[in-house]
Amino acid sequence: MKISIIVAKAKNDVIGKDNQLIWKLSSDLKLFKKITSGHHIIMGRKTYESVGRPLPNRVSVVISRNKNFELPSGHLVVHSLEEAIQVCIGRHLDQVFIIGGAEIYKQAIKIADELLVTQVEASPEGDAFFPYIDPKKWQIISSEHFEKDQNNQHSFDFVIYKRITK
Ligand SMILES: NC(=O)c1ccc[n+]([C@@H]2O[C@H](COP(=O)([O-])OP(=O)(O)OC[C@H]3O[C@@H](n4cnc5c(N)ncnc54)[C@H](OP(=O)(O)O)[C@@H]3O)[C@@H](O)[C@H]2O)c1
């Protein structure tokens, strides 16, 4: 099963502030929807609460230490990243997407096979960060540029990294 991280991060690695996203990039949201639809998406409890509901056409797998945390039927609560991965392996999935936030990315970058990074041309203030992408461990295999316009507050590059080594 391929484990893919998907993230939108700024030049200074900021990904969020006050449990919110910090930019309006509708082309990026469309990419996110296209790539993740039909799949299981793994996320931390805070990211789930920031969105506020399960995203349509996807199975949400939410990681929390809270044994009483509940989700609408069809979605799953697990209590570690390892459990999230094991549940998805048990369902014989070809691929799973890890969609954040900072705490989960920090753990998941150690086990992911691929990083799908929207590299945003901005350096905003924030309180949630993506971990360092070590070029000794990760190689860029494709990159596509998107120019800013009335629906996209900043220019960005959609960059795919493959793991070279653990
Ligand atoms: N730009 C992007 O692409 C992107 C994507 C996603 C999120 N974000 C941003 O990231 C920020 C949220 O990130 P965050 O780091 O604060 O929160 P998070 O990673 O979404 O969730 C953290 C929570 O996950 C649970 N958790 C984490 N590790 C665990 C483990 N090993 N075992 C069991 N539970 C575990 C805990 O939940 P409990 O407290 O319930 O135990 C913890 O409080 C927001 O600003 C959001 O907007 C940005």
> How far away, in angstroms, is 150 Cα from ligand 1 center?
30
What was the pLDDT predicted at 165? 86
Any atom of ligand 1 within 6 Å of the Cβ of 50: yes
Q: Mean pLDDT of successive 10-residue segments in the chain (166 residues)?
A: 98 97 96 98 98 97 97 97 98 98 98 98 98 98 98 98 92
Q: Which domains does the chain have, with CATH numbers?
A: 2-163 (3.40.430.10)
d(CA 100, ligand 1 centre) in Å: 6
pLDDT of residue 110: 97
20 lines ligand 1 (CB under 6 A): yes
Contacts 24+ apart (CB under 8 A), 78-85: 81/42, 81/107, 81/108, 81/111, 84/42, 85/1, 85/3, 85/42, 85/111
Dihedral of alpha carbons 41, 115, 6, 39, sign = negative
- Tell me if 47 CB under 6 Å of ligand 1: yes
pLDDT score recorded for residue 92: 98
Return the pLDDT at 166.
78
149 CA to centre of ligand 1 in angstroms: 30
pLDDT, position 64: 98
